[in-house]
Structures are given as structure tokens and as C-alpha cells.
Amino acid sequence: MFRLILAGLICSFSCLSASAQGLIWSLPEDGQYVTYTGSYTLTDVQEGTKNEDINTSWERVLTIKSVGKADADYQGESTACRWVEFKLIDAKTEDTQLVAGPVGEVIYKVLIPESGVVGSVTDANDLFVNHIPIVRGYRKVGAGQVETLPAGALQVYPVLTLLMHYREVTSEGDENVDAPNIQTAEKLTAKKTIESREIRIINNALMWRNTKIPFGLVKWEVTQVREKKAATEPRSNFTKISEVKTTMTLDATGDGAQSDLPDNN
């Protein structure tokens, strides 16, 4: 079931040319990591007044680690880069133990040019930052083999996170937060709509940012609505067919992070 949902999300968004994620606001010292815990809930809207919507929920654990430095060719020049690794587990609790779902762990390990992480909506040339570039990378899904990722953009949305790169991010000032060793964080709000002739995705996000946290985020909440209509129908006929809600909160930070993929990667 989870694999079918995951495949459907990937297909829906890739067909709409979705941009990359917005998890990385800064690069910490090598060896630092951050772990978030939270939940992911999918609601499938059932047509007709007699049908109840179907809700499916998973617990979610996401770890992001800085696991090495390297110089690599980027845009024709030798550039300082960082290996960053993401590990996601979606699971359910059974007998007090967290049991991974059908896909199991999803791991991405990517080499990111340091110059590609700007931590803002636009870069030094006032151009919209709609992705994080990677020189090369690797991916492992469940018990499958390690796959090589091509150079280009880091595309972990929507597989690892529902966060996007948003054209407009609004600050609502600092708020008190309940997170390890962090008392306050800047609250940010953002929205993005992706639309084709048949599908519309409305993504609303709340993010709390603190520069003392590795990679920048303390927590986030995303609500994403998927609507559908026939290609020949007017836009007013878009009807909600599903909703996804995810909430992730800082659980731990630390040093000495090691890669979960083989050293030769």
C-alpha cells in the first residue's frame, strides 16, 4: 500500500515538473547531524455522502548528516563540496517497537557544492533558488541496491519531505519552541501551487528556523491538498481528492556522524 502511494506521489509531481525540497538552509561543520521525528497522515477523499474518507498514518524519522568534504568539478571549476546524507524511516509502532513499512529505510547521499546553499529565496544575482545542485550522489531504498544519482538537482521532494523551495517566504518573528537546547526560532510561512490541466497541488508550510541548528530548521508543518478534474473542464471544477499532513520536530543533534552507505560511495 505504502509503495503504491509513494509511486503515485512521485508520478503526480514529476509530471508537473516539481522543484526540489527546502530542507537545507545552511551547511554545518563536518560530522554534525540532526534528527527529526513526527508523523505523516494521508487522507483519501471518498466521493459520495455515504462513504467515509480513508486515513492512513505513519510515524516518521528523518536524519540529516554532514559526512565528508571533497573538491569536485562544478560548472567547470574545482569547487569545495560537502557530502550530505538523508535517511528517512516511515513506520508504525508495534509492541512498543518502531517497525519500518514496506519500503523500509530510504537513504540519499549527495555531494553538494558549498556555493549552492544560500539559505534564502534568491541568490546573489536575485534569481529564484528552486533547487540545490549536486555533483553526484547515491540512493538506497529498502533492501534494494545502491543506485547512482546523476549530477543536477537534489530531488528529494516528495519522497523525503513535503517541503518545497518557495518563491515567497514570510517571517512572523521569533516564537518559543519546544526543542532540545533551543528556546526560540523564527517562524516562516510559505505557500506553493502546482497546476496542470488535470491536477492541482496546493502546498502550505510553516517552518521554524534557528541558525544554531545544523542545516537550519527546528521544525516544520506541511498541509498539502491534491485536486483533480477532467482536462476539458474549467478550473472551477477542481475537486479535492486527497490531503497529506506532516509534522516534524527536532529530536536530537550531535557530532561524529558516519555514513550509512559503503565508504566507496
Residue 18 has pLDDT above 60, yes or no: no
Going from N- to C-terminal start, the domains of the chain cover 2-254
Cell representation of residue 237: 471544477
CA 255 vs CA 31, 35, 64, 210: distances in Å: 5, 12, 12, 18
Residues 42-65 have pLDDT tens digits of 998 887 666 778 888 889 999 999
pTM beyond 0.75: the answer is yes
Bridge-partner residues for 79, per DSSP? 72
C-beta separation of 218 from 210 below 8 A = yes
Strands 33-44 and 239-254: antiparallel
Mean pLDDT for the stretch of residues 79-93: 90
Residue 135 has pLDDT above 90, yes or no: yes
Residue 199 — very low, low, confident or very high, per pLDDT cuts 50/70/90? very high
Mean pLDDT for the stretch of residues 76-93: 91
Mean pLDDT for the stretch of residues 96-106: 70
Proportion of the chain above pLDDT 90, given as a percent? 57
Strand ranges across the sheet with 169-179:
147-149, 136-141, 97-113, 77-94, 54-74, 33-44, 239-254, 217-228, 199-209, 182-195, 169-179
